[in-house]
């Protein structure tokens, strides 16, 4: 019987990094462009919170196709509080160790829950880079999280997988001495 690595600690750390980034966003930032060409910062924040809710829903036994990975703008609650609420839901939904080996219906197919957690570490860390880049305020991203996300990305998103219908552009070239955040962004198809 194979075991699935438990990436929940990295996911929780990635959520903590996101919470710090969300706290830096001001209303004047919301219409900024992001490295995700189809998203302004406002739309990206809504997508990220929606993705955390989708991840929670998967942990609760739901299927990815049942839930859109986006929310409407939070009202008086604000984005930091909306993210905190989604993070609490995701943490509770994935608290049971048995869920790591349970078949789970992710956006990319039926896989063990542990692989879903790893995929969401990759997504969360990548979108943290997107948000930090859009803000341009010198936020220091966590290198260890980026190394984890890049390892997942290289495993599950090889260059040959970039075909029509896959929401990732071709791997972009980077300098040999590029930092891990730049390498992750380039692997995910971001212009760096």
pLDDT tens digits for 34-59? 998 889 999 999 999 999 999 999 99
pLDDT at 166 over 80: no
pTM (predicted TM-score): 0.93
Give the alpha-carbon dihedral of 123, 126, 132, 136, to 10 degrees: -140
Residue 60: which H helix or E strand, with range? none
114: CB partners within 8 A, 6+ apart: 4, 5, 6, 7, 100, 101
Query: 8-187 has which fold?
Result: 1.20.120
Is the Cβ–Cβ distance between 46 and 71 less than 8 Å?
Answer: yes
Taking the domains of the chain in order of start, what are their residue ranges?
8-187
């Amino acid at each position: 019987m194979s075991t699935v690595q438990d990436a929940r600690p990295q996911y929780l750390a990635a959520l903590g990094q996101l919470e710090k980034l969300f706290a830096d966003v001001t209303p004047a930032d919301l219409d900024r462009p992001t490295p995700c060409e189809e998203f302004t910062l406002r739309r990206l924040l809504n997508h990220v919170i929606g993705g955390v809710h989708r991840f929670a829903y998967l942990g609760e036994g739901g299927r990815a196709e049942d839930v859109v990975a986006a929310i409407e703008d939070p009202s008086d609650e604000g984005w930091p509080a909306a993210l905190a609420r989604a993070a609490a839901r995701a943490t509770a939904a994935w608290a049971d160790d048995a869920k790591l080996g349970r078949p789970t219906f992710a956006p990319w197919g039926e896989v063990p829950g542990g692989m879903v957690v790893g995929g969401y570490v990759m997504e969360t860390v990548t979108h943290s880079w997107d948000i930090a880049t859009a803000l341009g305020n010198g936020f220091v991203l966590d290198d260890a999280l980026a190394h984890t996300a890049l390892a997942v990305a290289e495993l599950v998103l090889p260059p040959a997988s970039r075909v029509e219908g896959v929401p990732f552009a071709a791997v972009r070239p980077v300098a040999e001495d590029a930092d891990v955040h730049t390498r992750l962004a380039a692997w995910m198809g971001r212009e760096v």
